[in-house]
Amino acid sequence: MLLPEQMSKILVIGTRDRLPGTIDLLYSLENIHVVDFSEEEGFTLGAPLATASDASHKLLKLRSLGKDLELDEHGHHERMSVKQVEDTLDKTLSDIESEIAMVVESKNAKQTRLIEAETYLKSLEAFKGIPLDLEMYRGYKNLEVFTGQVKTDPEPGVREVLGDDFEMFRDSGDNNFIALFVPKAKAEEVEKALIKAGFTDVPAPAGTGMPAEIVSKLEQEISSLSKESEDVSAKLKELQEKHATSILASDEYLSIEVEKAELPLRMGATDHSFVLEAWVPTNEYGGITKSFSDKFGDDIYIELLETKERKEKHHTKAEGSVEAGVMTAEAIAVPMSEETPVKLKHRKVADQFSFYTKLINNPRYNEIDPTIALTLFFPVFFGLMIGDVGYGLIFTILGWLGLTRAKSKDWRGLSTILFYGGIVSVFLGFFLFGDMFGIEFTAIHHGVSELSSVTYTWAGLLGIDIPHVLFSIGDFPVQLGYFSKLEDVKMLLYISVWIGFLHLMVGLILGLYNVSLRHGIKAAIFEKFSWILILAGGALMLLVMVDVLILGGELNVMDPLFLGSLALLIPGLALALIAEGGKAIIELPELLSNVISYTRITAIGMSKSGMALAFNYIAIGLIAPEGGVFLAVALLIFVVGHLMIFILGLISAGLQSIRLQYVELFTKFFEGGGLEFNPLKIERKHTMEE
């Protein structure tokens, strides 16, 4: 479950007459990852089956018809049996083609004429207010005609050039549009005068007749064409509904046939035989050989070429030095064959979180799948940052709705963290922080805090007695909250740092396993165990520093914690220096920053709680006591304020929680880049096999 499934490479050889049956069996097994054939001596690249051409031609025609009908598969759930599709395919194509051909042709003709009419109408709009035939705007030897829009009255400028030797027409409704007739000899000077008036040329459209009359006729024609186009579209809609199921089913059937028929392009071939290489899960190899034997007897030859090992092989001196542990394995890591596909197997919950792993990359064949760690830590960190029963309940409900109704991967990914993070938020909000919407159920610190004057409890607001201690397990009291986010900041920061140590230690241990798997235990000790020692030594040193710097104790060099810290730090650093050289010194501050990074868990919880405190005080402490209509105002402020906190909490807790997984945890053990297992498989949405 932690590692991808072990894979084996197989060789399948058979005669050409067995190829169609072999392809059907390969698809039905759903566990064959084909390796594209590279030409070898004696073999050439295979050719598609004879059925490929006919199926491709029909598929092309069918998709053209579907495009004419503007067919969208979304919302169509009806299915047809494969046999029914096979029996009716040719008739379906013929019937649909004959039914829609005339309708589509009519629709295209009307749309073409509609576009022409609308374009011509648009060109005439500016001229319809001027009582001149369109023929009057062209065909003069001695006259130049200017038509267009002006920003200011051009007549004074034109008169200055021509005196009274011109004729100007203005749009009766829009005085900014003019038609100016001037002597051609003076056209250049007139044009300069028009430019000063902000003239923009609008060419006169072609045609004959009065523009206003033409516009009126065009408007009637456009109205008629629009109505006819709507009728044709309605007819196409009827045809679409009538044939949608058969078109989608036939499309799917033909797509499958084409895919199968073209599979030989990924195989090697001779005149009489074919050869195929493929990866299969090792534990399914026996079942695969049995399936071939049951169907073909001895006619198909299957050979197990190799069972892929996890350990990488090193052939160069540099790689050998890695084995000796004198350099980091990652620095010159020899990648596993990229052709080894990665098949992961998750249970339901982990499978929902695999969305976040794939956002980064697919795990490699020889490394631990990080999805399990992400499934464990992501919702816990989210819940620690939110830590509130009220917000947690809303997150849980929204997440549940998303997981039960959302279809897209993105929404389901978001719903996953809302649901599981919300559950953890409710749990921690109830038992660890004891609050809901920033209001504690009962005072955790019993009124001794400086914030007591501005904080409220549900017990006080509701006037009921809520016990702080719910029950005891032995001598341990199970309470409604142990820590206040605003009053126990030091302790929460301290806990955050220890969470960081634990989280990073898990990452390094996983990294230790990964490196030992790929390069052997010696390389793992130098590369990862060294940092495990350093991190463990740092954790012990933290205890010493807390005692000295915070609790006021004196540094005792004979303290077992201090000595133990040095006993871990010194050999760990020595191993790291041997493995990585001076780079190890540079990475020490990085490890420290990794640990400190976890204080954001407390910081986000504090910021959210601080905002809740402010809104609660304004609504409950300042406005609500005024009574009357102010109660409604107080309720509005309470709701809007917490809605804002809810949204900010979702964004900040979601981003920071996943950041701690990607940046702090994954970098300790995860490389990624694996090839996803992609078996031959038929997925049917619109057809079914009987």
**Which 3 state secondary structure label does DSSP give 576?**
helix
Amino acid at 66: G
- The token duo for 135 is 């023929």
Q: Which two tokens stand for residue 10?
A: 């197989």
Strand locations in 550-591 (E)? none
pTM as predicted: 0.74
> What residues have CB less than 8 Å from 94, skipping those under 6 apart?
none
Section 447-460 average pLDDT: 72
Give residue 322's pLDDT band: very low, low, confident or very high (50, 70, 90).
very low
- Interacting residues of 446 by C-beta distance below 8 A, sequence separation 6+: none
Q: What is the pLDDT of residue 327?
A: 44
Judged by average pLDDT, the poorest of 66-75, 314-323, 526-535 is 314-323
pLDDT band of residue 59 (cuts 50, 70, 90) is very high
The set of residues, in sequence order, having a beta carbon less than 8 Å from that of 79 and lying 6+ positions away, is: 245, 249, 684, 685, 686, 687, 688
Confidence band (pLDDT; 50, 70, 90) for 328?
A: very low
The DSSP string of 38-80 is: ---TT-EE----THHHHHHHHHHHHHHHHHHTT---TT----E
Please check whether residue 612 is in contact with residue 386, taking contact to mean a CB–CB distance below 8 angstroms: no
DSSP 161-198: HHTT--EEEE-SS-TTEEEEEEEGGGHHHHHHHHHHTT
Q: pLDDT band for 330, please (50, 70, 90 cuts).
A: very low
Across the range 268-286, mean pLDDT stands at 92
Q: Which residue has the higher pLDDT, 224 or 331?
A: 224
Provide mean pLDDT across the span 492-514.
Answer: 95
- Band of residue 66 on the pLDDT scale cut at 50, 70, 90: confident
The DSSP-derived string for 224-280 is HHHHHHHHHHHHHHHHHHHHHHHHHHHHHHHHHHHHHHHGGGGSEE-SSEEEEEEEE
* Cα–Cα dist 490/438, whole Å: 19
User: Which pLDDT does position 325 carry in this prediction?
Assistant: 45
In this predicted structure, what is the pLDDT of residue 612? Answer: 93
8 A C-beta contact, residue 401 and residue 415: yes
pLDDT recorded at residue 314: 61
* Cβ–Cβ < 8 Å for 416, 355: yes
Query: In angstroms, rounded to a whole number, what is the distance separating the alpha carbons of residues 461 and 247?
Result: 64
Question: Is the pLDDT reported for residue 688 higher than 70?
Answer: yes
447 secondary structure, DSSP code? T
pLDDT of residue 337: 47
- Give the separation between CA 31 and CA 52, rounded to whole angstroms: 24
Q: If you average pLDDT over every residue of the chain, what do you get?
A: 89
Give the Cα separation of 626 and 637 in Å (integer).
14
Q: How far is CA 380 from the centre of its chain?
A: 23
Residue position matching structure tokens 């047809």: 80
Taking phi over 0 as left and psi of -120 to 50 as alpha, with beta for the rest, 163 belongs to left
Q: Is the pLDDT of residue 607 over 70?
A: yes
Do the Cβ atoms of 5 and 341 come closer than 8 Å?
A: no
Confirm if 66 and 249 have CB atoms less than 8 A apart: no
Residue pair 366/8 in contact by the 8 Å Cβ criterion: no
Look at residue 389 and tell me whether its pLDDT is greater than 70.
yes
Please say if the pLDDT value at position 336 is more than 50: no
Enclosing H/E stretch for 318: helix 317-323
On the CB side of 144, CA atoms within 13 Å amount to 13
